[in-house]
């Protein structure tokens, strides 16, 4: 470890001096204390979005405060919906429930529909990724079906299932399944030949191959599909619930519109946005945990 | 019985693509005795790897047959463990798990403790026990290849197939691994078939060297015995007349008689 002594301009050149360099290793660089780290995080990461948000809210307040404004300003929204904000666990009759229960009902439908889509999507994706014949047979059909808008499936599922709730779940399923199928298939088609050869030399059974090679190798692709799928599901549930009614954030918005409670709608949109963001992050986090090491081959 | 442990008999291989047929291998025949270390050397593109894949069972031969211990090879299996050129460790498994996967498959009937022990034994053989918990992305190229060797050894193969195992490594690491392979070969007495394009490596490690002519339609040009006593020491061999004679023979074959004709 060599420490350089700083150059001092006033040192006269004729006077040479033996400088003893410190021999003990320099102390390890101290990690910034927690407080300093937090301050750096606050100014670097936290401040920009907060300031932007504040500016937008002020702008909105100004624009919506005029006499002819169609939408309430944020201050009105908060005062109008104060009861909803402060009592999310309110239990009333019928669809008169607190925000927590509304969102929970929607999340439940998404969870069921999404879970079925994961199982079916990975299964079908594995099939068409693995078998050229299955790909040629199914891929064109999938490519056409996946462009059908989610809500277009709703009447059909209502006719077939005769139940609003199951139909909403079906809409979620049919929305989420395509990106999962397609990404899984691509992931499996991209498994390096080497891994297949390893599996063949080891004589892994098809089931072992599926669990030990195929799924982990394709996991980064599968998770990309899951992330797209969860976003689409959350988009679709709000629309589907508007049509089927019952408890749920979608119908809450529709109901608020019918009773001209614009502030409630705005609050609901904020919640919908936050939950959608959280769902996306949740899947991203799961992906990071599951695919540790896989991505960097 | 000791003779002809592995025999490759009149193997032809041609690939068909879009109506045109390319003949890769023509009438390749050779035998490997039990415990023997045999290298196949040739210029790149001569079909060495194809030949190894046929022995491994990964690629079917067009005609001809491969016999191992008097049984026809028609599919890949752990009795012909392959150390692949680019290690092919599974990146989502740790070093230990990569070897354990093979152990679990080959010793399916044995107890957990025994399988664990066998995994560790093989990691020990290539001196990788300290890195057992690491993932392939966290270890060096030479270490990866050692784990690949450990995985192959753990299958207790009848013949160990090495597909240019040190090709992607730097010279120092390569020399170190060659020494290690020699040591393991001396200790366990494996039957080894190795593909290489490094003539020093071939002479140093092999009992016999199979020299391939250039493709298309490559065949065996010559088989050279390397009558050097074991254990062999790299440094002592530098001036050994037998070593130099063998080396010259391979050199002549590769660069005088079957020079790689550059495509114009």
The domain spanning residue B40 has which CATH number?
Answer: 3.40.50.300
**Interchain CB contact of B58 with A (< 8 Å):** yes
Contacts of A197 in chain B (CB under 8 A): 58, 76, 82, 84, 88
Of the pLDDT bands very low, low, confident and very high (cuts 50, 70, 90), residue A1 is very low
For the cut 50, the answer to whether the pLDDT of residue A63 exceeds it is yes
Among B residues 84-103, those touching chain A with beta carbons less than 8 Å apart: 84, 86, 88, 90-93, 101-102
Residues B242 and B190 in one domain: yes
DSSP state of A128: H
Question: Looking at residue A31, what is its pLDDT?
Answer: 64
ipTM of this complex prediction, to 2 decimal places: 0.85
CB atoms within 10 A of CB B139: 18
- CA B58 – CA A273 distance, rounded (Å): 52
CA A149 to chain centre: 21
For the cut 70, the answer to whether the pLDDT of residue A6 exceeds it is no
pTM: 0.77
Question: Looking at residue A109, what is its pLDDT?
Answer: 94
- CA B120 – CA B112 distance, rounded (Å): 12
Judge: B101–A197 Cβ closer than 8 Å, yes or no. no
Q: Which domain holds residue B65?
A: 1-75+159-264
Residues B106 and B232 in one domain: no
Chain B interface disruption, residue of A198, A201, A293, most B CBs within 10 A: A201
How far apart are the CA of B89 and the nearest CA of chain A, in angstroms?
8
Q: What is the DSSP string of B11-57?
A: EEEEEEETTEEEEEEEEEEEEE-TT-EEEEE--TTSSHHHHHHHHHT
Judge: B78–A201 Cβ closer than 8 Å, yes or no. yes
- CA A208 – CA A21 distance, rounded (Å): 62
Express each pLDDT in A233-267 by its tens digit. 999 999 999 988 888 999 999 999 999 899 999 99
**Interchain CB contact of B161 with A (< 8 Å):** no
Residues B138 and B246 in one domain: no
Judge: B92–A202 Cβ closer than 8 Å, yes or no. no
Burial of A289 (0-12, 13-18, 19+ CB in 10 A): exposed
Which residue did the predictor score with more confidence, B82 or A23?
A: B82
Question: What is the average per-residue pLDDT within A268-280?
Answer: 94
CA A87 to chain centre: 27
Residues B218 and B141 in one domain: no
Of the pLDDT bands very low, low, confident and very high (cuts 50, 70, 90), residue A297 is very low
Question: Looking at residue B246, what is its pLDDT?
Answer: 93
B104 to chain A: closest CA residue: A202
Residues B39 and B93 in one domain: no
Judge: B90–A202 Cβ closer than 8 Å, yes or no. no
Tell me the sheet residues that pair with B71.
Answer: B68
Residues B130 and B61 in one domain: no
Closest CA to B35 of B147, B197, B184, B210: B184
Burial of A243 (0-12, 13-18, 19+ CB in 10 A): middle
Residues B248 and B163 in one domain: yes
Residues B55 and B145 in one domain: no
Tell me the sheet residues that pair with B195.
Answer: B40, B163
Measured at the CA of A286, the angle between CA A283 and CA A287, to 5 degrees, comes to: 85
Burial of A20 (0-12, 13-18, 19+ CB in 10 A): exposed
Judge: A293–B135 Cβ closer than 8 Å, yes or no. yes
Judge: B137–A297 Cβ closer than 8 Å, yes or no. yes
Question: Which position has the token pair 């070593």?
Answer: B243
Please check whether residue B159 is in contact with residue B191, taking contact to mean a CB–CB distance below 8 angstroms: yes
- CA B22 – CA A1 distance, rounded (Å): 62
A194 to chain B: closest CA residue: B88
Contacts of A203 in chain B (CB under 8 A): 76-78, 105
A215 to chain B: closest CA residue: B92
Question: Looking at residue A39, what is its pLDDT?
Answer: 84
B82 to chain A: closest CA residue: A201
Is the bond preceding B233 in cis, omega lying within 30 degrees of 0?
no
Contacts of A192 in chain B (CB under 8 A): 88
Residues B227 and B183 in one domain: yes
Of the pLDDT bands very low, low, confident and very high (cuts 50, 70, 90), residue A8 is very low
Judge: A202–B78 Cβ closer than 8 Å, yes or no. yes
Chain mean pLDDT for chain A: 86
Question: What is the average per-residue pLDDT within A72-76?
Answer: 89
Of the pLDDT bands very low, low, confident and very high (cuts 50, 70, 90), residue A2 is very low
Judge: B77–A197 Cβ closer than 8 Å, yes or no. no
Question: Looking at residue B260, what is its pLDDT?
Answer: 62
Question: Looking at residue A16, what is its pLDDT?
Answer: 61
Question: Looking at residue B210, what is its pLDDT?
Answer: 93
How far apart are the CA of B227 and the nearest CA of chain A, in angstroms?
33
Query: Among the three residues B130, B156, B182, which one is the final residue of a domain in this structure?
Result: B156
Question: Looking at residue B234, what is its pLDDT?
Answer: 87
How far apart are the CA of A31 and the nearest CA of chain B, in angstroms?
24
Question: Looking at residue B1, what is its pLDDT?
Answer: 43
Domain definitions of chain A by residue range: 84-291
Question: What is the average per-residue pLDDT within A90-96?
Answer: 81
Residues B117 and B195 in one domain: no
Judge: B88–A198 Cβ closer than 8 Å, yes or no. yes
Question: What is the average per-residue pLDDT within A36-46?
Answer: 83
CA torsion sign for B62, B67, B72, B74 is: negative
Domain A84-291 class in CATH = mainly alpha
- Among B57, B75, B91, select the one facing A297 at the smallest CB separation: B91
Residues B179 and B220 in one domain: yes
Closest CA to B215 of B250, B263, B153, B247: B263
Judge: B77–A192 Cβ closer than 8 Å, yes or no. no
DSSP state of A151: G
Question: Looking at residue A7, what is its pLDDT?
Answer: 46
Question: What is the average per-residue pLDDT within A51-58?
Answer: 94
Contacts of A198 in chain B (CB under 8 A): 84, 88, 90
Contacts of B106 in chain A (CB under 8 A): 202
Judge: B92–A194 Cβ closer than 8 Å, yes or no. no
- CA B205 – CA A234 distance, rounded (Å): 63
A297 to chain B: closest CA residue: B91
- Among A198, A201, A216, select the one facing B92 at the smallest CB separation: A216
Chain A interface disruption, residue of B58, B92, B99, most A CBs within 10 A: B92
Express each pLDDT in A96-147 by its tens digit. 888 899 999 999 999 999 999 999 999 999 999 988 898 899 999 999 999 9
Contacts A–B by Cβ distance under 8 A:
62
Query: Among the three residues B109, B124, B156, which one is the final residue of a domain in this structure?
Result: B156
Express each pLDDT in A195-232 by its tens digit. 999 999 999 998 999 988 998 899 999 999 999 999 99
Question: Looking at residue A291, what is its pLDDT?
Answer: 78
Question: Looking at residue A81, what is its pLDDT?
Answer: 87
Query: Among the three residues B156, B171, B189, which one is the final residue of a domain in this structure?
Result: B156
Residues B96 and B32 in one domain: no
Question: Looking at residue B86, what is its pLDDT?
Answer: 83
Question: Looking at residue A294, what is its pLDDT?
Answer: 55
Query: pLDDT tens digits, chain B, 264 residues: what are they?
Result: 446 789 998 888 888 887 888 888 989 999 999 999 999 998 887 888 899 999 999 999 999 999 998 889 889 988 999 998 887 899 989 999 999 999 999 888 889 999 999 999 999 988 899 999 999 989 998 899 999 999 999 999 999 999 988 888 888 888 989 999 999 999 888 899 999 988 899 999 999 999 998 878 888 888 999 998 888 888 888 889 999 999 999 999 888 777 765 543
| Backbone conformation region of residue A255, classed left if phi is above 0, alpha if psi is from -120 to 50, else beta | alpha
Contacts of A213 in chain B (CB under 8 A): 90
Count structural domains, chain B.
2
Closest CA to B44 of B257, B256, B264, B254: B254
Three-state secondary-structure class, residue A98 = coil
List strands edge to edge, sheet with B6-17: B20-32, B6-17, B63-68, B71-72
């Amino acid at each position: 470890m060599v420490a350089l002594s700083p150059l001092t301009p006033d040192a006269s050149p004729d006077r040479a001096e033996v400088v003893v360099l410190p021999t003990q290793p320099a102390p390890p660089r101290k990690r910034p204390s927690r407080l300093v780290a937090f301050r750096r995080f606050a100014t670097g990461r936290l401040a920009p979005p907060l300031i932007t948000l504040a500016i937008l809210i002020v702008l909105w307040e100004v624009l919506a405060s005029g006499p002819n404004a169609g939408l309430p300003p944020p201050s009105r929204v908060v005062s109008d919906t104060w009861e909803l904000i402060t009592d999310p666990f309110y239990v009333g009759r019928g669809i008169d429930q607190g925000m927590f229960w509304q969102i929970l009902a929607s999340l439940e439908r998404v969870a069921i529909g999404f879970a079925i889509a994961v199982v079916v999507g990975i299964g079908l994706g594995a099939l068409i990724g693995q078998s050229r014949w299955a790909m040629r047979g199914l891929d064109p059909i999938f490519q056409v079906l996946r462009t059908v808008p989610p809500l277009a499936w709703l009447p059909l599922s209502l006719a077939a299932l005769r139940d609003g709730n199951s139909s909403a779940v079906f809409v979620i399923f049919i929305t989420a399944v395509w990106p999962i199928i397609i990404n899984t298939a691509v992931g499996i088609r991209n498994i390096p030949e080497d891994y297949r050869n390893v599996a063949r030399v080891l004589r892994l059974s098809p089931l072992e191959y599926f669990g030990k090679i195929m799924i982990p190798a394709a996991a980064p692709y599968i998770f990309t599909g899951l992330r797209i799928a969860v976003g689409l599901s959350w988009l679709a549930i709000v629309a589907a619930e508007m049509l089927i009614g019952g408890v749920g954030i979608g119908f809450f918005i529709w109901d608020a519109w019918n009773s001209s409670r614009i502030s409630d709608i705005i609050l609901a949109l904020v919640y919908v946005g936050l939950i959608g963001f959280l769902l996306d992050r949740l899947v991203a986090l799961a992906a990071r945990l599951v695919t540790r090491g896989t991505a960097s081959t | 019985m000791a003779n002809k442990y592995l025999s490759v008999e009149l193997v032809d291989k041609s690939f068909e693509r879009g109506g045109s047929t390319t003949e890769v291998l023509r009438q390749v025949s050779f035998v490997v005795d039990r415990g023997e270390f045999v290298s196949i050397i040739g210029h790149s593109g001569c079909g060495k790897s194809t030949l190894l894949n046929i022995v491994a069972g990964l690629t079917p031969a067009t005609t001809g047959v491969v016999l191992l211990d008097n049984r026809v090879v028609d599919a890949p299996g752990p009795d012909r463990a392959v150390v692949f050129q680019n290690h092919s460790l599974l990146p989502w498994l740790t070093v230990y798990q990569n070897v354990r996967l093979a152990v679990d498959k080959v010793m399916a009937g044995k107890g957990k403790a025994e399988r664990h022990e066998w995994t560790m034994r093989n990691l020990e053989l290539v001196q990788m026990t300290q890195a057992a918990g690491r993932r392939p992305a966290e270890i060096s190229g030479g270490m990866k290849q050692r784990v690949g060797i450990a995985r192959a050894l753990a299958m207790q193969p009848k013949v160990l197939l090495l597909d240019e195992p040190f090709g992607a490594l730097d010279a120092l690491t390569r020399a170190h691994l060659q020494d290690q392979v020699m040591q393991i070969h001396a200790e366990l007495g494996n039957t080894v078939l190795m593909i290489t394009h490094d003539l020093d490596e071939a002479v140093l490690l092999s009992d016999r060297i199979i020299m391939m002519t250039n493709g298309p339609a490559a065949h065996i040009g010559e088989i050279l015995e390397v009558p050097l006593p074991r254990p062999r020491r790299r440094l002592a061999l530098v001036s050994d007349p037998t070593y130099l004679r063998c080396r010259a023979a391979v050199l002549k074959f590769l660069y005088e008689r079957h020079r790689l004709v550059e495509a114009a």
